[in-house]
Structure 1
Amino acid sequence: MQKKLEPIEAAKQFVNKYFPSCQGALLAGSVVRGEATETSDLDIIIFDENILSSFRQSIIDFNWAIEVFVHNLSSYKDFFESDYQKARPSLQRMVSEGLIIKDNGVIEKVKDEADKILREGPEKWSFEVIKIKRYFITDALDDFIGSNNRAEELMIANTLADLVQEFILRTNGCWIGSSKWVIRELKKFNPDFTTHFVNAFDTFYKIGDKTKVIKLVDEILEPFGGRLFDGFSLGTVNEQNNIKG
């Protein structure tokens, strides 16, 4: 079997083979952060003015699984905006951390844009958004407390964990993540809280004890008024008045 190339060399050969006329290319992901595992792939970002629209493709070459994210010199901006609105700056992170594989004078500008977005953080949640999030966390917590069906409890706990990580990060002006990035963003925010969070849910998953999860949820809601059910409404002012009447 052919020897596996070093990540940077494989990335260079990939760019030369598939995108020789591109204006810029970056290698990002776990291999750049020094966190690569046996199953890690190469994340390569391409900037090519001749590409009509962005696309993503997965291939295997040079003995590597490769994920390639292809943009022209303006399409990446739409992804930056979409990621910003979701508070999950995936492309911005990749661009910011990425090692330059090729640059014909375009990479610095894109990196500066990504760094600025990451530095300034996500849009601040309004009072109304926080109130809505409190309600849905309360609703999930009530389901969690009241359930005695193990299969359903597991699914409710998953939902609750996702709602909790989003709430604590967004109310503290932090970016959020999905999958493994949940823990990475939580650690960046507060390592002690992350330990508390993981321990609470791990205890439930292992032995079915809900106490720590319930305590954790109440702790994150308390500064914002605690659990919310009574008096909560969604809809127009007239609809709310009709309910009150």
Structure 2
Amino acid sequence: MRQKLSAALSVATKIREQFFPTASAFLLAGSVVRDEATAYSDLDLVVVFENVENARRQSFVFDGWPVEAFIHDAQTLEYFFREVDRLSGVPSLPNMVSEGIELPAETETGSLIKSLARRVLEEGPIPWGQKERENSRYAISNMVDDIREPRNSDELRIVVSGLYAALANHFLRSQSQWSAKGKSIPRRLMGVDPEFHQSVTDAFEAAFIKEDTDPVIRLCERVLERDGGFLFEGYTREAPKEWRMPEP
């Protein structure tokens, strides 16, 4: 793994020199920095300039490496930290900045954005209110009903996959914890509550491998209990009044 990081650092340095020589801060982040890279991992780069017209995400291939560059200035970076990631509950960009390795050396801008990222991570996501809790309870309740007596294995697998992410998100967000998405969910659950992570693993393995959904249903009951349990009757949501086409 150390060889992988060394190669990534070398390639990232070349990218900086060739494509982003005027950047105020340049960080290599992601799985290679965490020693979790595979043969197919990409390079995650955070590139910060003094000023950009608008933030952007740029994907390209360099020396055989797939690269994802997240290009910002200090103002757009803070906006994404506070108005995008804190709202979603998934701290993708703050994590990258916090854990990133600055190349070719530390800079004042790099120190400032790392300090900001750590501050945002400590603040946590925007807390859920009753509306968010009810929306999550309702969604999970619907999925649980779909797996109580699934019509076929294909439908079961699709619903269980979605339920895994929804249940993990509810468990974390309902406790005002940062959440995660995709392949990062198991790592986040392990970091917050190893015992619960194991319960999730066992329950969903039973559903996927044996098509036994009872452990998943019991786990959903347990997670939702603190917020009032499953929700269907009485759930109401109104669309905004402006959601209508103008009259001809």
TM-score (norm 2): 0.87
Letter matched to residue 67 of structure 2: I
Number of residue equivalences: 234
Render the CA deviation track for 1:37-85: whole Å, top value 9, x for unaligned: 1112211111112532222222222342222111123222222121111
Render the CA deviation track for 1:142-179: whole Å, top value 9, x for unaligned: 12113232221222212222221111011111111111
CA distance, structure 2, for counterparts of residue 92 and residue 131 of structure 1: 28
Q: Does 1:171 align with 2:174?
A: yes
Among residues 139, 142, 148, which one is paired with 1:139 in the alignment? 142
1:30 aligned residue:
31
Residue 205 of structure 1: SS of its match in structure 2? helix
Consecutive unaligned residues of structure 1, counting only runs of 5 or more, are 237-245
Among residues 189, 192, 202, which one is paired with 2:195 in the alignment? 192
1:242 aligned residue:
none
CA distance, structure 2, for counterparts of residue 119 and residue 28 of structure 1: 19
1:74 aligned residue:
75
Letter matched to residue 178 of structure 1: K
Q: Once the 2 structures are TM-superposed, how far is the Cα of residue 104 of structure 1 from its aligned partner?
A: 4.4
Q: Does 1:51 align with 2:52?
A: yes
CA distance, structure 2, for counterparts of residue 63 and residue 149 of structure 1: 42
Q: Once the 2 structures are TM-superposed, how far is the Cα of residue 8 of structure 1 from its aligned partner?
A: 1.5
Percent identity between the two aligned chains: 33
Among residues 205, 208, 222, which one is paired with 1:205 in the alignment? 208
Residue 122 of structure 1: SS of its match in structure 2? coil
TM-score (norm 1): 0.88
Consecutive unaligned residues of structure 2, counting only runs of 5 or more, are 240-248
2:245 aligned residue:
none
CA distance, structure 2, for counterparts of residue 222 and residue 179 of structure 1: 25
Structure 1 residues 120 and 207, CA gap change in structure 2 (3 angstroms)? same
Q: Once the 2 structures are TM-superposed, how far is the Cα of residue 88 of structure 1 from its aligned partner?
A: 1.0
CA distance, structure 2, for counterparts of residue 21 and residue 179 of structure 1: 34
Letter matched to residue 151 of structure 2: N
Letter matched to residue 85 of structure 1: L
Q: Does 1:153 align with 2:156?
A: yes
